[in-house]
Amino acid sequence: MPNALRDDVYRRPLATALDRLGIGPGWRCVDVGAGAGDVSVALAEIVGKEGRVYAVDSDPRARDEVAAAAATFTQVLAITQAAEDLLLPEQVDLAFCRFLLMHVVEPGLVLNRMCRAVRPGGYLVAQEPITSAGRVNGAPMSMPRARHPDVGAMLPSLVQETGATIVDAWAEAPAGAGPGVVADYLSSLTGVDPRHDPVVLPPLVTVVGRVPEPTRAGG
Ligand SMILES: C[S@@+](CC[C@H](N)C(=O)[O-])C[C@H]1O[C@@H](n2cnc3c(N)ncnc32)[C@H](O)[C@@H]1O
């Protein structure tokens, strides 16, 4: 799996989302469907030793990969757990997922579990692609192995249906022509070198949601 390349080509949407949240030292986060832990490490760097990052993935192999990637970050705790059964020892300030909902059976169910893991006033952030909006030499891309390759297109509604308020939402697509990370990433995904063909990778839709605080009765 081209984790490092993925992280490189999609680093800007991640940086923009984290910047938008105002995340800082001491935050408690969960990275759901953490894979090799690239996002978990990025979060750990920001939250520091006083913070906590739960790196959750259903694949037990991810635990070892996260352990290796986050060896120097004691604040990262890798957990083998299905997102559908998400259960953490504490409520978090931020529940995050990237390229996860496209693979699960019921994206809405997973977002609901993530929302329940967040403290009132905390954030729910999802970054998912619209695969068919990607183009190689003008032709639409596809990803037959994914259950919901275009789930990014539904993301604003899916987040809203959890009860979270949308703070911000946008789409961003890395693009290029000729040698470079965009071509390398596409080759690693499809096995086909685009050579000098123009490539627009699938736009990644980011939705930043805020979990409502309980309203005070009788104020
Ligand atoms: C494409 S990778 C994305 C990894 C990482 N989020 C990133 O952006 O680099 C998808 C990850 O989701 C995990 N995954 C798939 N279905 C899951 C589920 N139901 N619960 C938890 N993790 C799941 C896979 O094992 C895999 O590690």
Distance CA 90, CA 180 (A): 42
For residue 43, CA distances in Å to 25, 53, 165, 191, 196 come to 10, 7, 22, 31, 35
Q: How many CA atoms lie within 13 A of 100 on its CB side?
A: 30
Task: Give me ligand 1 centre to Cα 129, in Å.
Answer: 14
Distance CA 169, CA 205 (A): 7
Indicate the pLDDT class of residue 63, thresholds 50, 70 and 90: very high
Indicate the pLDDT class of residue 88, thresholds 50, 70 and 90: very high
Mean per-residue pLDDT for 81-96?
Answer: 98
pTM score, whole prediction: 0.95
- Residue 219: the pLDDT is 47
Task: Give me ligand 1 centre to Cα 34, in Å.
Answer: 6
User: Using one digit for the tens of pLDDT, what is the confidence trace for 199-215?
Assistant: 999 999 999 999 999 88
Q: Is 103 in the pocket of ligand 1 (CB under 6 A)?
A: yes
Cβ(155)–Cβ(207) below 8 Å: yes
Q: Is 83 in the pocket of ligand 1 (CB under 6 A)?
A: yes
